[in-house]
Structure 1
Amino acid sequence: EALVKDQEDSSSTVRVRDDKDSEWRDLVTFPYGEDGNLVEFCADEGKTCLMTSSVGRETSALLKVDLKTGETLDVISGNDKCDVGGIVLDDDTKEVKAISYNYARKELTFFDKDFEKDYEVLKSLGPDNCEVGTASKTEDEKTWIVAYTRSDGPTEYVIYDQEKKETKPLFVSKPDLLDYKFSPMEDVRIEARDGLELVGYLTKADTEKKTPLILLVHGGPWARDFWGFNAQAQWFANRGYATLQMNYRGSTGYGKNFLHKGDGEWGVGTMQHDLTDSVQWAIDEGIADAENICVFGGSYGGYATLAGLAFTPDVYKCGVDIVGPSNIKTLLDSIPPYWGPLRNDMLKKIGDVDADEEFNRKISPLYHVDNIKSPLLIGQGANDPRVKQAEADQIAFAMQKKGIPVEYVLYPDEGHGFARPDNRIDFNGRAELFLAKHLGGRAEAFDGVSGATAVFPLEESKVEV
């Protein structure tokens, strides 16, 4: 099969052919706003296939589809609150054995009783409060490699004897972590100001009293956070900060309505309100110290950081922006022509900043620098193809010119994020000192990393005041 993206209307079409010599033909088209794809051909001599689709539904479901007509023959499984996730098929018959859904935690719907019994056994043999996943199986399915995922420790892999219903340890993904105690992650539900339910993940630094809070905003924004071991959240907890990660509207996995509730809502709209409301929830619940809140994120999370400081300046004590755009129009103007479908899709979701200059100025933090009063730390890669260095330069220099506290670290050999370990450690060390200075948590002694390439544009350039 093949998937074709239309650059004009942002629709997607699944194409198939009957054999290698036949012409490709359209099977199903998903208009903009719909989600779906072909999963697998059924074992019935090319008559049907399995597809995911949100057409006619709020969330994507698993369907059986006629390969000649594209007609839906059967809705195999769906969930009203979240999209279909992982699909387990029998290798030979292609029959569905199980489907996973993830609203807040992974849940399995079983279609094979024996497979379900094996999972029940595996659950009983694993650590408390873990998620069970199958990494691989032998061809006869008598021996499995199973992963036990936890939020407060490394992933453990075991060998499962399917006939004896026994496991034996295989390895641990990061065995050095076994020597440490970590904070468990809780899945939480938060009601936004308009009544919409949001799923989030909370990692506490202290279970007895309120602490400073870091709102850790995921990138995308068309992505989501998941339950599990999160190195950043554990780092923050160790230093004395609770961490809240929210799947704000516009996040994926919760159906097309939830996704498109974020359309046109960047910065001053409901996407940012969801983050503000989540912080208020943490304050009201006695989790967060209202005077010590930091917003922290990369890519869209970096944009949300800038938006938080610019549009809700009284909420945050400080912010950390990693490769976040400050001007949405210049962000989209820097997208190369061969990314055309992506740019069109972004315009539909963000709003037409090409044609509406006033709207762009409304949602771009660069034009609201005067509102910012809390300190900001910026991290940027000079070779970032998605969010160009100019996005960091323009807001950093604008803040410096107006006397607003800002630190700007640039890595000449990095792109959209920090790939080199020395640079990652270097920025984390600087972020830790920044957080300790403004939120009061713990920090290790730090004086840079010898192999890092950090430069400091604000210190190297003179700015006219």
Structure 2
Amino acid sequence: MRSMLLAATAAACLLTGAATAQSNVPIIPRDVLFGNPERAAGQISPDGMWLTWTAPVNGVMNVWLAPAANPGAAKPITSEKVRPIRQYFWAPDSKTVLYIQDKGGDENFLLYGVDVASGAEKLLTPFEKTRVQIVGISPLVPGRILVGVNNRDAKWHDVHSLDLATGKLTPVLMNMGDYAGFVADGNLVVRGALKSRTDGGSDYYRVIDNKVEGKPLEQVALDDSLTTNPLGFTTDGKTLYWTDSRGRNTAALIAQDVATGAKKVVAQDAKADIGDVLTNPSTGQVEAYTVDYLRQDWKPLGSAVAADVALLNKQFPGDWVVTSRTRADDKWVLAAVASDKPSTTYLYDRKSKSLTPLFESRPKLAGAPLVPMQPVVIKSRDGLDLVSYLTLPASSDANRDGKADRPAPLVLFVHGGPWARDSYGFNSYHQWLANRGYAVLSVNYRGSTGLGKDFTNAGNLQWGLKMHDDLLDAVNWAVKQGVTAPDKVAIMGGSYGGYATLAGMTFTPTTFACGVDIVGPSNLETLLKTIPPYWEAGKVQFYKRMGDPTSAEGLALLKAASPLYKADKIQRPLLIGQGANDPRVNQAESEQIVDAMRSRNIPVTYVLFPDEGHGFARPVNNIAFNAVTENFLAKCLGGRAEPIGDTIAKSTAKVPHGAEFSPGLSEALGGK
């Protein structure tokens, strides 16, 4: 007992020393990390005449256009006044810039087009409560694209041809067979259809003359359903590329001869799935691919871009992505990033092999005390390798080698999905929390993707069970490595990460000093009842991977894994953030657990944003919630915090309950 007390005292002294050392590191303002980037999402038009990017107009991210020969002559071509434009792309004829936008975070994305010559902006899918899908875009058919719209039936998308000049939508294939998606070739002919199976897998059907054949061409079982997908056809329609894990663990890149059905393994890796690919803009042939185990690694296929990949790997140690290529393939736009430096966008001339910087996304971070991220592999209690990423505050890692010199409070930052993954790179949340004095650890727990189907499927029916054990094992690792002390660990995350936070607060109520839940579900039964209608095709897979609410056994599993039913176990401070328009995790998911805690007089702070959905897209709202979060964490863990100031007043935040439990929040609300 005496030795345990001495160890705890020593750890407390070291933590105090770390806090003192961190006080010498300049504070990075929240708005520099989470406000609008100065410019982002750079692209070049297919004809090479234009450059585009997103940048603020009166505080809202819009698309800007500039002649490629004169980037300084840029001007905005869109006019969004509230929500940022987060996804746009060029039409193949270089005459139109297309973008998608929803309302208030409801994820009913509609398609808009801007005519480059006239500047005229048009809504191309003028429907209510409709979500557009892009089915096909091809350089062989420059004047139109294929889109899927669910305006006839909210559950299913019908394929339409969209004339970009006139905006006319012409039905191509009406989805009367409950197909989850479609694949088109280079002539914008629909060639394949995907349908979910009763076992949670998928069947792929051939489509001929816009009619789906009755017998499936390819069958994918549940175990392969998250790691096997068609990538697309070559423009001549002769080859179909897949990422495919059937008959292996990690997803390989497969080329299938359409005429014969024969398949050839083009690339594979023993530790990770094939990730991004570079395809030739004219032929559609895959010319390079990535493998991302601990870090991204680009590899060429053949000689077409081998010299380019070698040059860029040397220049940017693997951490780069091509965002667009000209049709002539003489120029690329790419973004390069390091873990301690935000992205810089370049124009790459393939003929001269020269790189011209176009812009830095956040130039105000130049000279800021950013710190490196370190990949680490942590063993789970049953022997799985948990690929994880650790960022240490400057006070804990003076020589920046990723080894803790002294312990610091830790924030376990859990990714959403859960069928997604954390990767190496610049992470604003890691930098922000490390700057405030915290070590930050992100863990690819079982169920995460990209690391082989065995690892993904190990998460089946393990919500709140072995998936949670992986997070606990990572915390224990951090304590043993001297990264932190056992009583100085917070848990935080969004979506599944929010669920993991609630699970940590309820299932293991003394493990974490506090928790921050962002749009996390509290009741898995009600979560599955309120998913968007256009997720109908994936419902069976949710049941197989989470628990089937239509069976007594599955319902019992879902209830046992639902933090709501254990709300009375919560002992530590909890902060919850929610978007009122969230179509994935309904507002009721947060309000159920807030009500359960309030009825038991358990303190909880609940922040609601009426104009947000699944996460906070508007920077004023994100900054406001982060302001509350860092003051909450400072009280809980002892790190640093900027005052909340006027961030709440500038946002749409409402606090239905518990403002008095978060430092400075009641004062910041004023009369709001």
Determine if the TM-score, normalized by the shorter chain, exceeds 0.5. Answer: yes
Cα gap change, 1:122 to 1:66, in 2 (>3 Å)? closer
Query: What is the match of residue 654 of structure 2?
Result: 455
Q: Which shifted more, 328-337 or 277-286?
A: 328-337
Aligned residues of 1:266 and 1:272 also touching (Cα < 8 A) = yes
Distance 1:83 1:96 in 2: 16
Once the two structures are superposed, the pairs formed by residues 328-407 of structure 1 within 5 Å of their partners are 328-355=524-551, 356=553, 357-407=555-605
- The one-letter code matched in structure 2 to 1:435 is L
**SS of structure 2 residue aligned to 1:144:** strand
* Matched residue SS, 1:397: helix
Q: How far is 1:409 from its partner? A: 1.4
Backbone CA RMSD of aligned residues: 2.2
Identity %: 44
AA partner of residue 160 (structure 1): Y
- Corresponding residue number in structure 2 for 1:49: 240
Distance in 2 between residues matched to 1:380 and 1:125, nearest whole Å: 41
Once the 2 structures are TM-superposed, how far is the Cα of residue 225 of structure 1 from its aligned partner?
1.0
Q: Deviations over 1:160-215 (max 9, x none)?
A: 34344333322212222224131111111000000100101111113132111000
Mean CA deviation greater in 53-62 or 83-92? 83-92
1-structure distance, mates of 2:412, 2:658: 29
C-alpha spacing 1:385/1:165, structure 2 compared with 1 (3 Å): closer
Match 1:67 to one of 258, 261, 264: 258
Contact 1:10 1:341 survives alignment (8 Å): no
Deviation of the 1:396 alpha carbon: 1.4
* Match 1:218 to one of 415, 421, 440: 415
Residue 425 (structure 2) pairs with residue 228 (structure 1) = yes
Distance 1:411 1:47, change over 3 A: closer
Alignment of 1:97-176 (within 5 A): 97-113=287-303, 115-126=305-316, 131-176=319-364
Give 1:221 deviation, angstroms: 0.6
Q: Secondary structure at the match of 2:636?
A: helix
- For the residue of structure 2 that corresponds to 1:167, the secondary structure is strand
**Cα distance in 1 for residues equivalent to 2:332 and 2:531:** 45
Given the alignment, which residue of 32, 37, 52 partners 2:229? 37
Answer whether contact 1:12 1:29 (CA < 8 A) is retained: yes
Seen in structure 2, the aligned counterparts of structure 1 residues 22 and 234 have a Cα distance that, compared at 3 Å, is closer
In the other structure, the counterpart of 2:165 is none
Paired residue type of 2:200: S
Task: Give per-residue Cα distances to partners, 1:406-433, cap 9 Å, x unaligned.
Answer: 1111222222222232221211111111
Q: Distance in 2 between matches of 1:249 and 1:372?
A: 25
* TM-superposition CA deviations, 1:119-158 (whole Å, max 9, x none): 33234344xx561333334444443333221111121223
Q: Which residue is 1:242 aligned to?
A: 439
Q: Which residue of 2 aligns with 1:434?
A: 632
Distance between the aligned counterparts of 2:406 and 2:314, measured in 1? Answer: 33
The letter for the 2-side match of 1:147 is A
SS of the residue aligned with 1:211?
A: coil
2:509 counterpart residue number: 313
Give the aligned residue type for 2:445.
Y
Distance 1:361 1:270 in 2: 16
Q: Which amino acid aligns with 1:41?
A: F
Q: Which amino acid aligns with 1:260?
A: N
Q: Contact 1:12 / 1:30 at 8 angstroms: preserved in 2?
A: yes
Equivalent position SS for 2:450: coil
Q: Give the number of the structure with larger relative contact order, counting CA–CA contacts within 8 Å between residues 6 or more apart.
A: 2
Moved more, 139-148 or 172-181: 139-148
Distance 2:203 2:388 in 1: 33
- Listed one character per residue, the Cα deviations across residues 349-379 of structure 1 (whole Å, up to 9, x for unaligned) are 0122442343233211111123221110111
Distance 1:96 1:46, change over 3 A: closer
**Aligned AA for 1:173?**
S
Aligned to 1:463: none
How many Å apart are 1:348 and its aligned residue?
0.6
Whether the 8 Å contact between 1:14 and 1:37 is mirrored in structure 2 is no
Alignment-derived partner of residue 286 in structure 1: 482
**Deviation string, structure 1 residues 43-86 (Cα, Å, up to 9, x no partner):** 6x5443222211111121111223245342x1111112111112
Partner of 1:425: 623
TM-score (norm 2): 0.64
* Structure 2 unaligned residues grouped into runs of 5+: 1-182, 184-191, 398-404, 660-672
Name stretches of at least 5 consecutive residues in structure 1 with no aligned partner. 461-465
- Whole-Å Cα distance in 2 between the matches of residues 240 and 387 of structure 1? 31
SS of 1:57's equivalent in the other structure is: coil
Matched, 1:185 2:373: yes
Distance 1:33 1:194 in 2: 20
Where does 1:79-98 land on structure 2 (aligned, <5 Å)? 79-98=269-288
Aligned residues: 453
Say which SS state the counterpart of residue 215 (structure 1) adopts.
strand
2:527 maps to amino acid: L
- The superposition leaves residues 60-113 of structure 1 with CA deviations (integer Å, 9 ceiling, x where unpaired) of 1111223245342x1111112111112223344554422211112111232234
